[in-house]
Amino acid sequence: MTISHLIDLANDSGGTLYLMLVLLLIALTVIIERTRYLSSMERGGAKLISMLRQQEGRLDTFPMTPQLSKLPHARLFDIMRRDSSRVDRTALDEHLEEVIMHEVPLLDRSLWMLDTVITLAPLMGLFGTIIGMFNAFHVLGDVQNNPAEITGGIAEALIATASGLCIAMIGLVSYNALNTRVRTVLHQLETIKLMLINRCTLIGAPVAAAHSPAAHNAVEIIRNPARA
């Protein structure tokens, strides 16, 4: 099948094959960009979780490299340093959850385009096949034409449907894989949030509740029972 023959097929499909080529380029662009981005987020999150498990010092001495500081996970550390000594555990949890909610749209950005391609490509392929069938039936109306030309026209018309289905299958597999990566990164964010809250006193950043007057009096009573 030569390039000129493919061009003839695209012209006979009413131009839908050209549009499907555009859809394929859009899908591949989103797949490559999101795969690289989410893979970087996933590797960085796994490294931060591993480092946090081993960290026993203060939060302000946590070995945050410039590369790791660019991750959305690093926003949780910034909030922890800023608010851990000013708010109680519940408020701190809400502040960290707010950060996660702000990062969610950045993780699944552009995936709607891939979802649209998955739905639109088969429909456009079917539309191109219908246009190609019109041409095949036009040949059928001429009794002098060879029947092989009719069957050949129908076979060529089905190329549009096959192309649409191929694009949809590639997009569907990639879409599910990217959604899995998004869920993995979100799970990492939730894990880091819980690890920071549960280890806040261990890493030297106790929440404000530990400095409240009631907590201070309770500690004094434990140390000096005579004051009770």
Confidence of residue 223 (pLDDT cuts 50, 70, 90): very low
- Mean pLDDT, all residues of the chain: 75
pLDDT score for 192: 85
Q: Is the pLDDT of residue 155 over 60?
A: yes
> Dihedral (C-alpha) 96, 103, 38, 111: value to the nearest 10 degrees?
140
Can you tell me the mean pLDDT for 210-223? Answer: 40
Can you tell me the mean pLDDT for 3-20? Answer: 69
pLDDT score for 5: 61
Higher pLDDT, 19 or 30: 30
Separation in Å, CA 50 to CA 65, 188, 191: 14, 11, 11
Domain count, the chain: 1
> Smallest Cα–Cα separation from 11: which of 163, 164, 157, 162?
157
pLDDT score for 215: 38
74 CA to centre of own chain: 18
Q: Is the pLDDT of residue 180 over 90?
A: yes
- The Cα 106–Cα 71 span in angstroms is 11
Confidence of residue 2 (pLDDT cuts 50, 70, 90): low
- The Cα 42–Cα 36 span in angstroms is 10
> Smallest Cα–Cα separation from 191: which of 95, 49, 57?
49
Q: Which of 2-6, 45-49, 211-215 has the highest mean pLDDT?
A: 45-49
pLDDT score for 38: 92
Separation in Å, CA 198 to CA 49, 103, 195: 13, 22, 5
- The Cα 116–Cα 136 span in angstroms is 30
What's the pLDDT tens digit per position in 101-120? 888 888 888 899 999 999 99
- Global pTM exceeds 0.75: no
Q: Is the pLDDT of residue 171 over 80?
A: yes
Least confident of 7-11, 18-22, 126-130, 218-222: 218-222
Least confident of 34-48, 88-102, 144-158, 204-218: 204-218
Domain hosting 115: range is: 3-227
Can you tell me the mean pLDDT for 194-210? Answer: 58
